[in-house]
Amino acid sequence: MRLSTWSVLAVTLLLSACANGGPWVEVGGERFKVEIADDDAERARGLMFRDELATGTGMLFIHEDEQPQAYWMKNTRIPLDILYFDNDRKLVTQQRNVPPCSGGNRCPSYPSDQPARYVLELNAGEAERLKLQDGAEMTFGKGIPPVR
């Protein structure tokens, strides 16, 4: 199997995070190592162009304010669960089993039903496996940057 430069970089970052204890969140009674996307460039890039997301990992998007959010799957190759959380880190919207999209700007968006501040992307099927329901709480572990 041949790994792309992005895959090697992602694996290296995740291994580094794991070795250093790295950032994590807990939801549904399970802990996930997360990459943090807390600025416009990181949020825009998200999980684009990746061929896989390792089991037990995800990406946590942190927004400056709680407000309606909408994510899309432009250039995303991995089916995902997109989970929206409010200021209190309570689950307010779930977009489950969102398919990859190679349609560029024609990719549909997947909005939150209520204002959200945090968005957690996990491999598709995780929300169902964990039996997540709206109102579920997300706990931050060490390594999550303070809210600005």
CATH number of the domain that residue 68 is part of? 2.60.120.1140
Q: Is the pLDDT of residue 56 over 50?
A: yes
Pairing of strands 80-85, 70-72: unpaired
The reply to whether 147 falls in a domain is no
Q: How many structural domains are present in the chain?
A: 1
Better-predicted residue by pLDDT, 19 or 69: 69
The reply to whether 47 falls in a domain is yes
Better-predicted residue by pLDDT, 121 or 104: 121
Predicted TM-score of the model (pTM): 0.84
The reply to whether 56 falls in a domain is yes
The reply to whether 73 falls in a domain is yes
The reply to whether 145 falls in a domain is no
The reply to whether 96 falls in a domain is yes
Whole-number average pLDDT of the chain: 88
Per the structure, the complete domain to which residue 132 belongs is given by 5-140
The band of 18, judged by pLDDT with boundaries at 50, 70 and 90, is very low
Better-predicted residue by pLDDT, 115 or 15: 115
The reply to whether 128 falls in a domain is yes
pLDDT score of 131: 98
